[in-house]
Structure formats: structure tokens, C-alpha cells
Amino acid sequence: MLSVLLAALLLATPPPPDDWRTPFEKGNGNTTATYAECLAYYQRLDAAYPEILVREAGPTDSGEPLHEVVVALDGNFEPPAAAGRTRPVVLIQNGIHPGEPEGIDASMMLARDLMTKKEMKKLLKHLVICIIPVYNVDGCINRNSSSRANQNGPESYGFRGNYRNLDLNRDFIKCDSKNARGFTRI
């Protein structure tokens, strides 16, 4: 019986930080996470830590969902007004141009560090963090290594335009894309 309880405890314990390395950290310094790897990473964090929630915010033009990741120390993932809290919410949007993926990788590391490093977790007493892992999901899925002629790395990266070839950083006012309409819901 004791061995069953011990096995259950070990399975319920989050893996050590070394197992939380991102694809960038596991790579050669010239790689970045694919959309599937990024989403799977956040879903692992969601499963391991009650302070993290991954949820869909609506569809994108390709039909893939736009996701948001909410990091809240108290596990209250409702909008601040509905939750009755006064802590500020910091929104981090990544991958508007997936060929510029640094934020995608950095936000994965930030979410991990907020959960695995005590000194960082203390920051969540004062704020809530909302991360859009990849805003241009369609462009992130459409990876290549030749659409940015003068860019030195990564080895493979997403495309600037979305499924409809819209440049999403020019669509916040018009909201022609489903991505932008999902963003307004966040």
C-alpha cells in the first residue's frame, strides 16, 4: 500500500526544472518552438500547476484556436472586474510576426520560471499575467527558412502573414481577421 501511495505522490509532483527546458533551450541556440511544441509546453504547465490556465480565446482565420495563458497565484482566472481584484494584469502578446520568435520562447521560459523559482513566484502576489503564446497561429504553422532573406536565424521560422496573408499588426482597428476579433475578447 505504501508503494502505491509513494508512486501516486511521485506522479503528482511536477517534474524538476531541467525537464521544463523549452525547445530553444534544448536546441543549438538557433532553433525556436513550433506552434505545436509551444502549445504542448503551456498545456504541460497547466496540468502541473494550478496557478496556470490555458484556454481558447476564439478561432483564427485558418480555423486553429487562438489561446491565452493566464498566470494567477490565487488560481482565479476571471477578468479583474469580475473577480473583484485590484492587481494589474500584464498582457504579453507573442508571435504577431512568427519569423521574429524571441518572445514566444522567452514567454515560455517566463511562465516556467514563475512556477519553479520562489523569488519569481512572489511577483504574482502583485500582478496577474496573461500571455498570448502565438498571436499569428497561421503564420507560425507555415514555417520555412527562406522568407526572410537577411535574417540570420533561427533555422526555421513562421511566416509574416496569416492564413489570409494579412499583416496582423495592421489589423487591430479594422479587425478584418478572426485573430484580431479573438484578441479583443482577451
pLDDT at 154 over 60: no
- The highest-confidence range among 133-147, 157-171, 172-186, by mean pLDDT, is 172-186
Render the chain in DSSP notation, one character per residue.
-HHHHHHHHHHHSPPPGGGG--HHHHTTSS----HHHHHHHHHHHHHH-TTEEEEEEEE-TTSPEEEEEEE-TT---S-HHHHT----EEEEE--SSTTSTHHHHHHHHHHHHHHH-HHHHGGGGT-EEEEES-S-HHHHHS-BSSS-TT----SSB--SS-TT---GGG-TTT--SHHHHHHHH-
pLDDT at position 184 is 82
Is residue 138 within 8 A of residue 165, CB to CB? The reply is no
Show Cβ contacts of residue 72 under 8 Å, excluding neighbours closer than 6 positions: 51, 53, 124, 128, 129
Tell me the pLDDT tens digit for each residue of 10-35: 455 555 566 899 988 888 776 788 88
Report the distance separating Cα 179 and Cα 48, nearest Å.
28
- Which comes out higher in pLDDT, residue 127 or 177? 127
CATH number of the structural domain 17-185 = 3.40.630.10
56 has which bridge partners? 67
Q: Domain residues of the chain, as ranges?
A: 17-185
pLDDT at position 9 is 44
- Which comes out higher in pLDDT, residue 157 or 10? 157
Average pLDDT rounded to a whole number, residues 68-96:
82
Tell me the pLDDT tens digit for each residue of 104-147: 889 999 999 999 999 999 999 999 999 999 888 877 676 556 55
